Amino acid sequence: MIRSVRRLAVVLSLLLVAMLANLTYLQYFSAAEVRAKPGNSRVLLEEYSRQRGPILLGSTAIASSIPTADQLKFLRQYTSGPLYAPATGFYSVVYGATGIERTENSVLSGSDDRFFVDRVQQLFANRGVKGGAVRLTLDPAAQKAAYDGLAGRTGAVVAIDPRTGAILAMVSSPSFDPNLLSSHDPATIRKTYDAYSADPAQPLLNRPIAMTLPPGSTFKLVTAAAALESGRYTATTIVPGPASLPLPTSTKVLNNWSGAACGPGGKTTFENALAISCNTAFASIGLDLGADALLAQAEKFGFNDSFDIPLRAATSRFPTDLDRPQTAMAAIGQFDVTATALQMAMVGAGIGNNGQVMSPYLVAQTLSPELEVLKNAEPTSYSQAMSPANAATLLGMMVTVVEQGTGSNGRIPGYTVGGKTGTAQTAPGQPPHAWFVGVAPANRPGGASVAVAVVLQNGGGATEISGNKLAAPIAKTVMEAVLKP
Amino acid sequence: MTAATSAPAVPTYRQPTRRWAEAGLFLGAFLVGAAAYIQVDLAILGHLASDTVPVLSAVAALLLVAHLGVRILARYSDVILVPAVATLNILGLAMIHRLDLAEIQRAQRNGGEVPSPDVYSQLTWTALGVVLCVTVLVVVRDHRTLQRYTYTAMFVGLVLLLLPLAPFIGAKVNGAILWVRFAGLSFQPSELAKILLTIFFAGYLTVTRNSLALVRTKVMGLEFPRGRDLGPLLVAWFVSLAVLVFERDLGTSLLFFGLFVSLLYIATQRRSWLVLGAVLFISGAVLAYLAFGHVRLRVDVWLHPFADEADTSYQIAQSLYGFASGGMFGSGLGQGFPQLVPYAKSDFIIAAFGEELGLIGLMAMLVLYGVVVERGLRTAVACRDVFGTLLAAGLSISLGLQVFVVVGGVSRLVPLTGLTTPFLAQGGSSLVANWIAVGLLIRISDTARRPDQSGVGLEDAPTQVVAR
């Protein structure tokens, strides 16, 4: 009997070993994977049990957490929620976090490894563990100007400091209120989210970085840059500008917007072609340069690449393998060329910064819970899209656009402003998109202090659509807000 | 027998009782448990709860009762057994207190009615358990007297096992019919039935083990018992199936059958019983899977715990999240979210410990269970009579199996069944029954290690005593 009791004891110890092994697997090896499953509300509860750090503009918090009496101990609040929503995103118990709330979560929630020492100190001091802060690059005045300018219309604005790549304004219209999505009442959150999702105006779409549209004539800046970089064009080069251009190897004909030739005898200067946005001239230049040159130039400005600012920006497209008629259309920002407002602002910024494109960024600083600086943003060069000399030439041509050409509404008294309008064709029967890309001041050797891109989707609902009429005035107020603090 | 007749010229060897060592272990049990209890208060409230000192005083008093009871009534018994289960019992109280506080806080947040703490009733049941444990030592002066009640135990045990099926008093809780409600009290009779049936198995096998072991027929190279000797095994199998089918109590059914097969093996030392038992178990399990939706559901949920998280697999998924969130070191008592797991105080209390004490803490607790089972089996080995060996082994094995089934269930090693975690989980029947089982083990252990005092109780002993 003793022997069989011993044998059963061995069996029972094997069962114990099996339990311990299983628990080791569950609590150690697979723990991270199981913990991260969406059904686990602990991660969220832990996050909510810490005071989440604020999102700052200067020393003003645009998002902060205030203590509450319910199970989720802190409520996220956004001042001017819809204004900053494209940058902040929301912080929801139901839908998770978006925007900076998501990308900078480790800092804001206090789970970042750099806070380890803080956490230990807080533990011993029996203070609640707090999250760190994130300071954004946004300029409140520029943001406000852009938001007010778009009011009631569908569109996006991005403003960049050309010298650093810091994003000064990032506005989407219509926007949403992150306060409603960050409440502690799941029913309200779901209802609001469903309403936003069902809205045909797509308030949750982060237009400045996520909406890609044909850039139309603003893309002529890229074509012009390619032309100057080829060394075969200067501002005064005479280029063809007939009333209509038969597209090679095709029966199609490209017409000028006005229906007239761009100059006497169907010829004009390169500078004037940009000033009056001559389609036939730029199509001819595009054909002359070839698809590969256009592609290379577009990619130097950031096309066909994605950016994490740290929010992931949609990839702007310049298609490859273009035939001749497609090349002509692509040269004037049509065919399959698409761009975000961020991308077109980068084009303006590159030209305004002596040809150097800086990588765009939204986070100026991350700070500890005690607001000590953990990390300052380091501006990095994305590419030298064109030589400083050619950039200066092109910037001068952009000034002509504003002062003498199609971009007259971009003028700011007392400042030299460069710009380019765009009125991009869309699907037949759809109203075109109104664009404006502006750079100011355009006469400073160290580089311009602001580049802005404005787009009104399908004209933002206006009946008579042109970039100069609709988009340029908004760009002007945004640039003014940056220039005149 | 008088002192004069038993005092030879040579000095008597006085068997050490090591009761002071036990007292030290009791002190350790109290310190561990009290530290856990106080840690809960400090982590959640920041100060001691108003009732913590009275509760811990009561616990200390109960430990003193247990210690004195064992010291006086079973002075040669195992010194580790009672302090070990007491440690688990107090840790259970601490965790129930911790979940009480979570419930109270939630009620305060939502403005609902503040629930009365469950720790009081658990403490009351603990007190009853300790008292009954000591009572067992008082009433059962020699465990061999229990053998007289072999068939009474069987009858009462079966009645208790099937009692929940009786009209009016049976109650269905969470799909399983394993409760009896009577006069406002609810009771889970299967826990007590487990002990009575262990007594029956031990008594029955003591008498029949020779015929079961020796009379064999050979089938396919393995020796098998005769058909009519198979009777009891088949009865046990059918009763297990009946419990499963009619009461839908997978855990009890499994435990009951596993216990009987183990005891058959110990009594006869024939591995063929294990083979037969395994065959019957597997066929029973397959039948149950094919025939019953609730068994199929348990298996499906076991295989795919995250497939239907909102509904059928909610409990196990929440339990797994608890374990995973606890990780290696746990969140610390009072600092996790064990209240998110349904039935955290009872069926899933192991998940609560896994979350807050982590893998390290849980391993320590499981090893503590291992120690209890090991001490029980050691008692079985040391016992000088067959009945005592079988009874001690049965009680220990059923405890071990139960821990395996419930811990394996909540941690997804095996499908989840409805058994309580001995000594930890909320629930009076289980607690009282397990304390009674400890009382019996202590009694057997005392008898086994007592220096031979010729004549005492031997007239009651069956003749098989010498045939080991």
> ipTM, 2 decimals?
0.89
Query: Is residue A124 predicted with pLDDT exceeding 80?
Result: no
In the predicted model, what is the mean pLDDT of residues B125-153? Answer: 93
Q: Is the peptide bond before A174 cis (omega within 30 degrees of 0)?
A: yes
Query: Is residue B133 predicted with pLDDT exceeding 80?
Result: yes
What amino acid is encoded at A3 in this protein? R
Partner-chain residue, chosen from B323, B370, B393, that has the shortest CB–CB distance to A16: B370
Q: Do B265 and A8 touch (CB under 8 A)?
A: yes
In the predicted model, what is the mean pLDDT of residues A163-176? Answer: 93
pLDDT value of position B179: 63
Q: Do A31 and B324 touch (CB under 8 A)?
A: yes
Q: Do B323 and A12 touch (CB under 8 A)?
A: no
In the predicted model, what is the mean pLDDT of residues B341-367? Answer: 93
CA B60 to chain A, closest CA, distance in angstroms equals: 30
pLDDT value of position A435: 92
SS (H, E, C) chain B: CCCCCCCCCCCCCCCCCCHHHHHHHHHHHHHHHHHHHHHHHHHHCCCCCCCHHHHHHHHHHHHHHHHHHHHHHCCCCCCCHHHHHHHHHHHHHHHHHHHHHHHHHHHHHHCCCCCCCCHHHHHHHHHHHHHHHHHHHHHCCCHHHHHHHHHHHHHHHHHHHHHHHCCCCEEEECCEEEEEEECCEEECHHHHHHHHHHHHHHHHHHHHHHHHHHCEEEECCEEEECCHHHHHHHHHHHHHHHHHHHHCCHHHHHHHHHHHHHHHHHHHCCHHHHHHHHHHHHHHHHHHHHHCHHHHHHHHHHHCCCCCCCCCCHHHHHHHHHHHHHCCCCCCCCCCCHHHCCCCCCCCHHHHHHHHHHHHHHHHHHHHHHHHHHHHHHHHHHCCCHHHHHHHHHHHHHHHHHHHHHHHHHCCCCCCCCCCCCCCCCCHHHHHHHHHHHHHHHHHHHHHHCCCCCCCCHHHCCHHHHCC
Assign A300 a pLDDT band (cuts: 50, 70, 90): very high
Q: Which residue of A has its CA nearest to B363?
A: A20
Assign A23 a pLDDT band (cuts: 50, 70, 90): very high
Partner-chain residue, chosen from B336, B354, B373, that has the shortest CB–CB distance to A23: B354
Q: Do B377 and A12 touch (CB under 8 A)?
A: yes
Q: Taking CB atoms and an 8 Å cutoff, what residues of chain A touch B265?
A: 4, 7-8
CA B171 to chain A, closest CA, distance in angstroms equals: 32
Query: Is residue A254 predicted with pLDDT exceeding 70?
Result: yes
CA A21 to chain B, closest CA, distance in angstroms equals: 10
Q: Which residue of A has its CA nearest to B335?
A: A46
A217 an active-site residue? yes
Q: Is the peptide bond before A310 cis (omega within 30 degrees of 0)?
A: yes
Per cent of chain B over pLDDT 70 is 86
If contacts are CB pairs under 8 Å, which of residues 260-279 in chain B contact chain A? Answer: 262, 265-267, 269
Q: Do B321 and A35 touch (CB under 8 A)?
A: yes
Q: Do A28 and B320 touch (CB under 8 A)?
A: no
What's chain A's average pLDDT? 87
Q: Do B366 and A27 touch (CB under 8 A)?
A: no
Q: Which residue of A has its CA nearest to B270?
A: A4
Query: Is residue B457 predicted with pLDDT exceeding 60?
Result: no
Exposure string over A154-193, b if 16+ CB within 10 A, otherwise e: bbbbbbbbbbbbbbbbbbbbbbbbbbbbbbbeeeebeebb
Q: Which residue has the tokens 């059923």?
A: B398
Strands A55-57 and A133-136: parallel
Q: pLDDT digits over B355-370, tens only?
A: 999 999 999 999 999 9
Q: Do A27 and B324 touch (CB under 8 A)?
A: yes
Mutation to test the B interface, candidates A3, A22, A23, most B Cβ within 10 Å: A23
In the predicted model, what is the mean pLDDT of residues A247-259? Answer: 75
Q: Taking CB atoms and an 8 Å cutoff, what residues of chain B touch A46?
A: 337
Which of left, alpha, beta for B224 (phi over 0: left; psi -120 to 50: alpha)?
beta
CA B202 to chain A, closest CA, distance in angstroms equals: 13
Partner-chain residue, chosen from A3, A27, A31, that has the shortest CB–CB distance to B269: A3
Mutation to test the A interface, candidates B381, B395, B401, most A Cβ within 10 Å: B381
Partner-chain residue, chosen from B266, B401, B411, that has the shortest CB–CB distance to A1: B266
In the predicted model, what is the mean pLDDT of residues B248-271? Answer: 85
Q: Do A12 and B317 touch (CB under 8 A)?
A: no
Q: Do B326 and A27 touch (CB under 8 A)?
A: yes
Q: Do A4 and B404 touch (CB under 8 A)?
A: no
Q: Which residue of B has its CA nearest to A40?
A: B321
Query: Is residue B168 predicted with pLDDT exceeding 80?
Result: no
In the predicted model, what is the mean pLDDT of residues A355-360? Answer: 94
* Residues A60, A139: Cα–Cα separation, whole Å: 12
Q: Is B306 on the interface with A (CB under 8 A)?
A: yes
Query: Is residue A122 predicted with pLDDT exceeding 80?
Result: no
Partner-chain residue, chosen from B106, B269, B323, that has the shortest CB–CB distance to A71: B106
Q: pLDDT digits over A421-450, tens only?
A: 988 877 777 888 889 999 989 888 888 899
In the predicted model, what is the mean pLDDT of residues B240-255? Answer: 77
Residues in chain A: 485
Q: Do B323 and A27 touch (CB under 8 A)?
A: yes
CA A14 to chain B, closest CA, distance in angstroms equals: 10
Q: Do B324 and A30 touch (CB under 8 A)?
A: yes
pLDDT value of position B6: 52
Mutation to test the A interface, candidates B39, B201, B261, B269, most A Cβ within 10 Å: B269
Query: Is residue A107 predicted with pLDDT exceeding 70?
Result: yes
Q: Is B319 on the interface with A (CB under 8 A)?
A: no
Q: Taking CB atoms and an 8 Å cutoff, what residues of chain B touch A33?
A: 324
What's chain B's average pLDDT? 85
The tokens for B27 are: 């002190």
Task: Select the more confidently predicted residue: B213 or B320.
Answer: B320
Q: Which residue of A has its CA nearest to B337?
A: A42
* Residues A375, A37: Cα–Cα separation, whole Å: 31
CB B260 within 8 A of CB B201: yes
Q: Do B337 and A28 touch (CB under 8 A)?
A: no
CB B403 within 8 A of CB B419: no
Q: pLDDT digits over B295-340, tens only?
A: 888 889 999 988 887 788 888 999 999 999 888 888 889 888 898 8
Residues of A with a Cβ under 8 Å from any B Cβ are: 1-9, 12-13, 15-16, 18-20, 22-24, 26-28, 30-35, 37, 39-43, 45-46, 69-71
Q: Which residue of A has its CA nearest to B392?
A: A5
Q: Taking CB atoms and an 8 Å cutoff, what residues of chain A touch B111?
A: none
Q: Does the predicted model carry a pTM greater than 0.80?
A: no
Q: pLDDT digits over B55-97, tens only?
A: 999 999 999 999 999 999 999 999 999 999 999 999 999 999 9
Question: Which one is catalytic: A109, A111, A217, A277?
Answer: A217
Range with the poorest average pLDDT among A11-15, A51-55, B217-221, B351-355: B217-221
Assign A43 a pLDDT band (cuts: 50, 70, 90): confident
pLDDT value of position B433: 94
Partner-chain residue, chosen from B266, B354, B373, that has the shortest CB–CB distance to A27: B354
Q: Taking CB atoms and an 8 Å cutoff, what residues of chain A touch B369?
A: 16
Q: Do B321 and A70 touch (CB under 8 A)?
A: no
The tokens for B246 are: 């009619």
Q: Which residue of B has its CA nearest to A123?
A: B43
